[in-house]
Structure 1
Amino acid sequence: MNNKEIEDQIIKNFQQDEQMMILVFAQWCVNNQLNPTELYSRAYPNQAANYALQQGIDLTVPKEESETIADDTLLNVLALYSNEDLAFVVTEEIEKLKKKNSTL
């Protein structure tokens, strides 16, 4: 492989991993009855519509068909991609969910 081919492969791998991060986020939202587009918009209010996010949302399954995604797992995945703003919004939602579940 020449340098250009190696660089292209690294970019392709990063994009695939990033898509997996988006899918984990979107599925976590579905599993917790949250709107992934709304959470993403709160984290990045100045960003236009996100095609990759929509692709991730399209790949989600109903909560009943999904494995549980632990809160810490999602936060760690977001941290891997330096998605601090989205992790902050997710953390706020985790706290809300914990309060809601403790009152049930």
Structure 2
Amino acid sequence: MKDKIIQQYEEDENIMIRLFAHWCANHDINAATLYKNAYPHQHENGILLNIMKETEKDNLQVDTETVIHVLQLFGNEDLAFEVSKAAVKF
């Protein structure tokens, strides 16, 4: 049961990262740079970098409120704040 819960969390986290990467691509924002702005003391996020390589612009439309909400659900308040700051510019 414990392994199933961990696996489900990782899958959900992967979806969150994909939504974030798509939102960034659709707004011509470098997701890795925005992530670094939110978490300057962390190493590069390898999962994010891999997903960025797979992400095609306009392949999936994700609205800003959804991205912010999903990021907050996973405790990524700083990244949600960076998304909201970036969204003001367009």
TM-score by length of 1: 0.82
- Which has the higher Rg, Structure 1 or Structure 2? 1
Render the CA deviation track for 1:42-92: whole Å, top value 9, x for unaligned.
0000001111111221231122xx232111111111111010000010010
Matches of 1:34 and 1:62 in 2, distance apart? 11
* Percent identical residues: 38
RMSD, aligned α-carbons: 0.9
Report if aligned partners of 1:23, 1:59 keep a CA contact under 8 Å in 2: no
Runs of 4 or more consecutive aligned structure 1 residues displaced over 3 Å after TM superposition: none
Matches of 2:54 and 2:18 in 1, distance apart? 7
TM-score by length of 2: 0.94
Residue 70 of structure 1: aligned partner: 63
Give the alignment partner of residue 19 of structure 2, picking from 17, 21, 24. 24
Residue 96 of structure 1: aligned partner: 89
Amino acid at match of 2:4: Q
Amino acid at match of 1:90: V
- Where does the alignment leave 5 or more consecutive residues of structure 1 unmatched? 1-5, 98-104
Size of the alignment, in residue pairs? 90
Residue 47 of structure 2: aligned partner: 52
Residue 37 of structure 1: aligned partner: 32
